[in-house]
Structure 1
């Protein structure tokens, strides 16, 4: 069986399409697929612990992605984690008494910030701060507390 130039070209195009598909899949998996910069405003929140949260982690409200984490820094005076979030401009109607919590997607998934809207008539604006926060739950700490309580009950 002889190879023709057409067959070689089709195989080459198929391989190139496969490589391009893997490239875009890896971009999507690493949250780098947003090539265009959307209009957004910055909101910060202070957490006692932001363990596992990363820059470009999702920020969601009611299960809908409304932004992403822009930066995570340590406040040198309070030793709290200051998380700055870029919220898409179309979600500019989040009340200023919104609460922020760090959750885990699935049992061992990646962390994200969940916003729970309050009932205020004024809204979050650029460079505003969310005052009510709930830190990330550290699985190792919870398991340690459970084991410690179980050992205490046996005594």
Structure 2
């Protein structure tokens, strides 16, 4: 079976987090909190909002394509020849929240970006959990 779409890969990271979805949502959508675990940003939680992430290694251009408070946040993630979509999904659980992050859109020739994301997202989520532990 061939075809471009079959070769597109995703990076998926899931975590069980002992905090309610509302608290995690704040950490995913408030710029001063996002900066603590991800990157500097001019994020605003509004459909169609264009924003960026800035890091030492470069910039990422983004646009919010789906937003449902405390449940789903999806935005384009474009930089260094990568056109992808990052989707956060929050599932309430008895102990808190199951948080799922998927970055979809890695082509076969983007092995470096794919492996970078596979290494990077678990670290970002570990920092997110540290930020959540400090929040009220």
User: Normalization by structure 2: what TM-score?
Assistant: 0.34
Higher relative contact order (CA 8 A, sep 6+): 2
User: Normalization by structure 1: what TM-score?
Assistant: 0.31
| Higher strand proportion | 2
